[in-house]
């Protein structure tokens, strides 16, 4: 995997949630910004793939944003954000197998029709007008 850490920018702010009185003093929420379009480490194919796969996380300026505020520690949140970005980018390049349509086997069709016939026969035997 390419080391993208030289192209990250971090922005911190006050986090909501747990932390008690510490929440009002410490900026533990971390926003990781990565400019995909202006990256020098990615090839045009990689940029295109990332933009197409992560379009819901990329803003109008072409910046991929990841916000983490799960931990009380700013340092931990930075690590989590980098880890999350690496995971997202690695998932972009996984090519899924093409799905082939399948049909039920001939024996399965015959078995289903046979069971339907047996069921209809038992129902017909229950009728009074037989």
Whole-model pTM? 0.66
Task: Please list, residue by residue across 19-49, b when 16 or more beta carbons sit within 10 angstroms of its beta carbon and e when fewer do.
Answer: beeeeeeeebbbbbbbebeebeebeeebeeb
| CATH for the stretch 5-92 | 3.30.160.20
DSSP state of 98: P
| pLDDT score of 23 | 65
Alpha carbon 117 to its chain centroid, in Å, reads: 47
- Quick one: tokens of 74? 């700013």
| pLDDT score of 106 | 95
3-state secondary structure of 45: helix
CA–CA dist 130, 55 (Å, integer): 67
| pLDDT score of 130 | 56
| pLDDT score of 29 | 84
CA–CA dist 9, 119 (Å, integer): 68
CA–CA dist 37, 50 (Å, integer): 10
- pLDDT, one tens digit for every residue, the chain (130 residues): 556 667 788 877 877 766 666 666 777 888 889 988 888 888 888 888 888 888 888 888 888 898 888 887 888 988 999 999 989 988 988 888 899 999 999 999 999 999 999 999 999 999 887 5
């Amino acid at each position: 995997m390419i080391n993208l850490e030289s192209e990250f920018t971090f922005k911190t702010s006050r986090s909501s949630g747990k932390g008690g009185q510490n929440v009002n003093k410490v900026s533990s929420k971390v926003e990781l910004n990565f400019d995909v379009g202006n990256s020098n480490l990615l090839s045009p194919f990689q940029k295109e793939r990332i933009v197409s796969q992560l379009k819901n996380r990329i803003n109008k300026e072409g910046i991929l944003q990841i916000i983490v505020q799960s931990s009380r520690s700013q340092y931990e949140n930075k690590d989590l954000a980098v880890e999350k970005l690496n995971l997202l980018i690695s998932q972009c390049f996984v090519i899924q197998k093409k799905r082939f349509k399948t049909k039920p086997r001939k024996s399965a069709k015959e078995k289903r029709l046979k069971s339907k016939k047996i069921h209809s026969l038992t129902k017909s035997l229950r009728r009074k007008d037989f």
